[in-house]
Amino acid sequence: MRLAFALLCIGVASCRGEDEPVEWNGPFDSEIPLRAPVDRNPDPKVLEVDLEARIAEVEIVPGKKTKMWTYDGGVPGPLLRAKVGDTLVVHFKNSLPEATSIHWHGLRVPAAMDGNGMPSIPPGGTFEYRFTLPDAGTFWYHPHVNSAAQLGFGLYGALVVDEPGVPLVADESTVVLSDASIDDDGVLVDAKSGGAIADLFGREGAWILVNGKVRPTLHGHAGVPLRLRLINAARSRYFQLKLDDHVFTTIGGDGGLRETPRTGAVLLLAPGERYDVVVVPRNAPNSTAKMMWVPFERGFGTAFARDPELVMSLAIDGRKAVTAPALPARLRTIAPVDPAGAKLQRIELTQTTDAAKTTTLGINGKAFPDAMPVMAKVGETNVWEIVNTTDAHHPFHLHGFFFQVLDAAGAPLTSEWKDTLDIPKKESRKVVVRYDDRPGMWMFHCHILDHAELGMMGMLELTP
């Protein structure tokens, strides 16, 4: 009863006396737990699970049940967690009314395991995904068949591969950010609502979700660092985040830890991106800080006349503040990929309108699958010049490979590995990628999934 009273009264001075500080002794992320799957394999180096895609009733809108598309009956799906070098085995069953697949976003897996939708898994079908986890980092999984609709209906989950050694921060949580289009009666809005205009803008759901919850609260103690592995799993929404009177110290991203920490008051995650951040609660004891979604202009007036929205809160308990331990000045060493002599691949992100006023998004002027594939060989190093010719931002995602962003002088920025990169409107970026020995067909596309479905998607054909 005392704990319940404390929770009720957090941040409300009239509920307590000055000599009765609020304390929080449970997990700091107890309102947003991610489920762990049942591991079928006793080998500590193998994570072997069953995973079913099925429609299930889930409470997203408070007090309402919605028939969501889920992995194992929940939104998000279960948190898959293992260590570098472990083997992941997923016995997948499709119990949905249409074909689907699982793409392992950010993982360097064999092409046959990438889940790019070719071939897809039909209703009632099964598939065994099996591969080694070569890299530490924060990754995620989602469908790559009718992906804008299926992901928008709830099909996504997190996958964490732990780096070796002692954890950098004791208190850690994986935080999947997304949104959902659900009406006031708790019914999913049609995936094609809004028609061609919504296709072009990219659909954003009315409900912002944190691990499937609306406006949850984290609980912290002043000075005790919290590590948040943030994943943007929304179909179109950019998450520009601010936390009252706090800063984000970014320690990692798409491809695991950065070389050095980076601190800022605002954090921007494009769809598909991940950022691994440390937040040190520093407000007064018995206070609450709000993490807000701040409108981001990604084109077509998408930030016009929109107000910030509450994503989640951080309730700081009443115990005396402590001094946060310092993070290491260097987190890892990332060797540069030498772009000298690399083959140049020019990729234009294009928007065209025909005589019938039909708008098509594409790669080099062609909608998928009509665009010519990018041809490369195992062992090659390529520089990709990604040119956004349109009037809107596009987050560019390459399946199966990490890349390094090049600076204005053409040198690689070795601060981090990326697999998803926002390309601002009317701008270009160069990245360098070296292909290891995993031949096959690999997708690349805009991760505003409405745009990918409109045709802004291409293929990399990697040959031995």
Judge whether 40 lies within some domain: no
pLDDT in tens, 202-231: 999 999 999 999 999 999 999 999 999 999
Judge whether 253 lies within some domain: yes
pLDDT in tens, 92-109: 999 999 999 999 999 999
pLDDT in tens, 23-68: 777 799 999 999 999 999 999 999 999 999 999 999 999 999 999 9
Judge whether 277 lies within some domain: yes
* Per-residue confidence (pLDDT) for residue 353, from 0 to 100: 84
Q: Is the domain of 89 the same as that of 126?
A: yes
Rank 7-21, 241-255, 343-357 by mean pLDDT and report only the highest: 241-255
* Per-residue confidence (pLDDT) for residue 283, from 0 to 100: 87
Count: domains in the chain = 3
Of 316, 333, 364, the domain-final residue: 316
Of 316, 351, 366, the domain-final residue: 316
Mean pLDDT computed over every residue of the chain: 93
Average pLDDT over residues 364-377: 95
Q: Is the domain of 136 the same as that of 157?
A: yes
Q: Is the domain of 173 the same as that of 74?
A: no
Give the domain extent around 417: 343-463
pLDDT in tens, 405-439: 999 999 999 899 999 999 999 999 999 999 999 99
Q: Is the domain of 98 the same as that of 77?
A: yes
| CATH number (domain holding residue 53) | 2.60.40.420
Do residues 68 and 148 make contact, with C-beta atoms less than 8 angstroms apart? no
% of the chain surpassing 90 pLDDT: 88
Q: Is the domain of 446 the same as that of 352?
A: yes
Region at 454 (left for phi over 0; alpha for psi -120 to 50; beta for the rest): alpha
Judge whether 22 lies within some domain: no
* Per-residue confidence (pLDDT) for residue 354, from 0 to 100: 82
Q: What would you report as the CA-atom Rg of the chain, rounded to the nearest whole angstrom?
A: 22
Q: Is the domain of 174 the same as that of 310?
A: yes
Q: Is the domain of 388 the same as that of 455?
A: yes
Q: Is the domain of 58 the same as that of 151?
A: yes
* Per-residue confidence (pLDDT) for residue 6, from 0 to 100: 31
pLDDT at 16 over 90: no
pTM of the model: 0.94
* Per-residue confidence (pLDDT) for residue 20, from 0 to 100: 52
Q: Is the domain of 103 the same as that of 185?
A: no
Beta carbons within 8 Å of 36's beta carbon, 6+ residues apart: 78, 79, 81
Band the pLDDT of 22: cuts 50, 70, 90: low
Band the pLDDT of 19: cuts 50, 70, 90: very low
Give dist(CA 86, CA 226) in Å, integer: 26
pLDDT in tens, 442-462: 999 999 999 999 999 999 999
Average pLDDT over residues 165-170: 91
CA max distance for the chain: 74
* Per-residue confidence (pLDDT) for residue 203, from 0 to 100: 96
Q: Is the domain of 74 the same as that of 145?
A: yes
* Per-residue confidence (pLDDT) for residue 17, from 0 to 100: 42
pLDDT at 12 over 80: no
Half-sphere exposure of 283 (CA within 13 A, CB side): 20
The two three-digit tokens of residue 272, written as one number: 């598909």
